[in-house]
Structure 1
């Protein structure tokens, strides 16, 4: 099989229409739903098998509200940890098997795999309906208590995604595997007459219901599409003294991923770190509980200062340090020092709404632990979709803050045309140059994969340009039309939502 150094860096990158016959889609959320539908609509393809692997017991991705919740695992999600520390790859039991076998049953694995989604009671969409839904079904399909104008509660989105996938499950090419976590992806040689020199062997761990065991099995595919999004592995930034606090008072430090309702915070003092969607929501919800006091720590404090009009909410700059005090000589036990010199003693909760790390543990061995840059960005990912050095593994759903489902749809159309051999990408040299330019501009930060209001339309137009085909080429789904007026409507709605967020 070819090594990375063998790959042609000068010529355009493409596949023939007959090369890809089987595809694994990892993830069962919004990006998986649209790539499945788009692949099936693509004519003149040779695709015979598509399997969706979803580790939850239900479709919907991050919009699925787990019936069971757990406490923040502070023994794993430590202050400043990167993705490899929080979310390591498991050993592949087939590597040590004494004889060839297609299935292995082992005791339930206890490694934290962050199955819980970040959905919580009261979560609502923050993108207008017309721009968040897929272009062929622009209505959530609900009225009444589940709808707030152009916005809906999270359970509606989960049902929308589930329905979108379900419409294709009667297709004989499609298989859905729930409760199934992909734990390893390996390249293997192939000896058939297909032009490709290798394919992929996936090792999957299925949690067996009503059992204390996991079923491990393996399947082979020509191509792998990663559609897991970016809200799985929590990130808590480094703060001096925070690790000590996590060790001594593990129930005090929390991450927003494990928040479910505001009721436990009644009569408590909480510090909420973050001012984006989850930070704003949690501040709002907790402040509604009787007897609460909420301090909201804001990164851009000097520019923002006040986010809430509620009397029991006080804005603060970032936390400078956390100190555990000598309880014998002090009435207070915990001292939280903010960058402006102000102090909060003995909060009942510190909730970090500080985002997530990109993590693909099943690709760690294949990419020698270089699939991400410490979980902050995905390495060598051209247009946030194509791995420069691996043409048969692609990723959909990476863009942050984009127009959500609509961005995924543009990615899905481009990706489907690439997989079915209808388009060719720029040479690897050009792709690498794009990656390097992006790092020069954004560095290894959240901004690298951020597609905000300003970038939404240019990014969509770029994907359309890359996906252009000749008039003689038959295609399935067409790129939706995104207009300046729609983007402006999305922008204005977002500004209004932020202005009145604590009144919703």
Structure 2
């Protein structure tokens, strides 16, 4: 049987070597399905355990730059070739480069700091729960323990991922505490060379060792929630520089008790912002939420009654005070005020949390980034453009069109993550095992451009939030994969079950009704002066 021109150029088949980047749910599912299809798999995971975004770590990531708007930079400083070949003990992972000097307020050389710098902890906070019921978030690799409730704490989600990794053999082929710093094609162009650095225990303490390895195929499953997006709001950088512990990103949030009796401003209107507002209600003295009024804002009526929604921030101002003092450990508010875009003024704020989301970033693929090219000018080579709000040039949000030996699992937003990523993983495994046929490069390009025309560029390009889109996406994967499976006598890939679709439809109906009611309620937003203090010049 003749293969497509795409497959003739890119050889796929069982027995080839595959690198999987990340051991969250998308990486674990991908690796497990690749193993089942007879491929030789190695997983790279920079932390010490599987679990990805659901792994709870009391430690928090260091501060990103303020503002943070350079997608190729990532949430860690990528090492240079040869830098850590024989590092014992390891040097600082963050130096005094221009890219980082504004964000590094204190650097110590403890082992804990080294661990954080090497593998920045994720955004999981102590009270985190799933907002999609567990019965819609399951992999075909293994079900939830009997009696698992629909909504559970992060502990159960983390344990579920770790059980999948253990039971499918993924743990055994994972290089933990190993960070990928560079992925690129060899000069001959046939294989992918991966340069990784591992944090190991040596005789005289921890050491960082650089290694090089080659693979036929690569799957990036590093997730969405790594590089915080910090907006360029006038005066925010000054507040952060002057009072660094009083301005943080939601990735660094862990417990509401830290903000007991404080006045807290949360910037953002997504799920993390809503969760933090709910946790602070009744703990903080006053909680404010500032929003831009964007398409993805959750409605104000979902907030607790004690939280006040405010317009977008225009400027952070510090008072002209000759004794700006370090107040991090005191009960005093920041000596300044915040001007909103409607002219209101907010003061007596103790802490600012920027729940402003994350930047799409794959720092180990710098050659596919262009930090100065806007989305509208991105070419067929680009993966991430200046806005950092989408992944370009992916066929079905999975295969890099110019070279589909590079694939991505976990790109879509607003989905039943575990389930959807498992379907993507099955498709990747079948293609890489030579059991599903990719279209030609030209056909993939035409399909991608058609989708751009329909959905536009930006974050919404990957959204499957609209009713029916997620089911249709999965059915499209299944139909495509099974067309070739039938030809070669391969067992078919199964779609969503009817039970799953009924549960999904019920959830969508409830969510749609909730949002319709919330947005139709016309909740009046209180003014800052009405609830929060005096005006200032």
Q: What range is the shorter-chain TM-score in?
A: 0.7 to 0.9
Q: Indicate conservation of the 8 Å contact 1:268/1:292, yes or no.
A: yes
Task: State how far apart, in whole Å, the 2-side matches of 1:304 and 1:87 are.
Answer: 27
Return the TM-score normalized by structure 1.
Answer: 0.83
Q: Indicate conservation of the 8 Å contact 1:292/1:312, yes or no.
A: no
In structure 2, the residue matched to 1:427 is 440
Task: State how far apart, in whole Å, the 1-side matches of 2:279 and 2:404 are.
Answer: 45
Alignment partner for residue 93 of structure 2, among 87, 110, 123? 110
In structure 2, the residue matched to 1:462 is 476
Instruction: Report the Cα offset of residue 216 of structure 1.
Output: 1.0
In structure 1, the residue matched to 2:224 is 230
Farther off after superposition, 486-495 or 56-65: 486-495
Farther off after superposition, 124-133 or 449-458: 449-458
Task: State how far apart, in whole Å, the 2-side matches of 1:138 and 1:496 are.
Answer: 30
In structure 2, the residue matched to 1:57 is 48
In structure 1, the residue matched to 2:495 is 480
Q: Indicate conservation of the 8 Å contact 1:27/1:228, yes or no.
A: yes
In structure 2, the residue matched to 1:127 is 132
Q: Indicate conservation of the 8 Å contact 2:474/2:495, yes or no.
A: no
Task: State how far apart, in whole Å, the 2-side matches of 1:140 and 1:357 are.
Answer: 34
Alignment partner for residue 318 of structure 2, among 306, 316, 324? 324
In structure 1, the residue matched to 2:289 is 296
Q: 1:189-204, aligned counterparts within 5 Å?
A: 198-204=190-196
Which digits, 9 at most, give the CA deviation of each residue in 1:95-147, with x for residues without a partner? x89xxxxx54352442356621111111101101111111353425565xxxx
Would the alpha carbon gap of residues 366 and 316 (structure 1) be closer, same or farther in structure 2, given more than 3 Å must change?
Answer: closer
Instruction: Report the Cα offset of residue 251 of structure 1.
Output: 1.7
SS of match in other structure, 1:426: coil
Would the alpha carbon gap of residues 463 and 434 (structure 1) be closer, same or farther in structure 2, given more than 3 Å must change?
Answer: same
Would the alpha carbon gap of residues 93 and 301 (structure 1) be closer, same or farther in structure 2, given more than 3 Å must change?
Answer: closer
Please say if 1:32 is aligned against 2:27: yes
Which digits, 9 at most, give the CA deviation of each residue in 1:286-311, with x for residues without a partner? 1131x520001233389976335644
Q: 1:175-190, aligned counterparts within 5 Å?
A: 175-188=173-186
Alignment partner for residue 359 of structure 2, among 357, 360, 385? 357
Instruction: Report the Cα offset of residue 420 of structure 1.
Output: 1.1
Farther off after superposition, 444-453 or 326-335: 326-335
Instruction: Report the Cα offset of residue 209 of structure 1.
Output: 3.4
Instruction: Report the Cα offset of residue 477 of structure 1.
Output: 7.3
Q: Relative contact order: is structure 1 or structure 2 higher (C-alpha 8 Å, sep ≥ 6)? A: 1
Stretches of structure 2 lacking an aligned partner (at least 5 in a row): 95-116, 325-332, 372-381, 519-537
Which digits, 9 at most, give the CA deviation of each residue in 1:427-447, with x for residues without a partner? 222322333344444444221
In structure 1, the residue matched to 2:421 is 408
Which digits, 9 at most, give the CA deviation of each residue in 1:319-342, with x for residues without a partner? 222223323699983221223332
SS of match in other structure, 1:394: strand
- Pairwise CA RMSD of aligned residues? 3.1
Instruction: Report the Cα offset of residue 81 of structure 1.
Output: 1.9
In structure 1, the residue matched to 2:327 is none
Task: State how far apart, in whole Å, the 1-side matches of 2:27 and 2:299 are.
Answer: 39
Alignment partner for residue 206 of structure 1, among 198, 203, 206? 198
Instruction: Report the Cα offset of residue 485 of structure 1.
Output: 2.4
Please say if 1:314 is aligned against 2:308: yes
In structure 2, the residue matched to 1:382 is 395
Q: 1:198-277, aligned counterparts within 5 Å?
A: 198-209=190-201, 211-277=205-271
Return the TM-score normalized by structure 2.
Answer: 0.78
Q: Indicate conservation of the 8 Å contact 1:92/1:203, yes or no.
A: no
In structure 2, the residue matched to 1:397 is 410
Would the alpha carbon gap of residues 304 and 37 (structure 1) be closer, same or farther in structure 2, given more than 3 Å must change?
Answer: closer
Task: State how far apart, in whole Å, the 2-side matches of 1:142 and 1:317 are.
Answer: 43
SS of match in other structure, 1:414: helix
Task: State how far apart, in whole Å, the 1-side matches of 2:49 and 2:475 are.
Answer: 34
In structure 1, the residue matched to 2:144 is 139
SS of match in other structure, 1:467: helix
Farther off after superposition, 322-331 or 370-379: 322-331
SS of match in other structure, 1:152: coil
Q: Indicate conservation of the 8 Å contact 1:182/1:205, yes or no.
A: yes
SS of match in other structure, 2:28: helix
Q: Indicate conservation of the 8 Å contact 1:272/1:295, yes or no.
A: yes
Task: State how far apart, in whole Å, the 1-side matches of 2:299 and 2:221 are.
Answer: 37
Task: State how far apart, in whole Å, the 1-side matches of 2:441 and 2:140 are.
Answer: 31
SS of match in other structure, 2:201: coil
In structure 2, the residue matched to 1:90 is 78
Would the alpha carbon gap of residues 241 and 439 (structure 1) be closer, same or farther in structure 2, given more than 3 Å must change?
Answer: farther
Q: Indicate conservation of the 8 Å contact 2:12/2:434, yes or no.
A: yes
Task: State how far apart, in whole Å, the 2-side matches of 1:118 and 1:317 are.
Answer: 25
Which digits, 9 at most, give the CA deviation of each residue in 1:404-425, with x for residues without a partner? 1111011111111111112222
Instruction: Report the Cα offset of residue 474 of structure 1.
Output: 4.4
Stretches of structure 1 lacking an aligned partner (at least 5 in a row): 1-9, 98-102, 144-148, 191-196
**Greater share of residues in strand:** 1
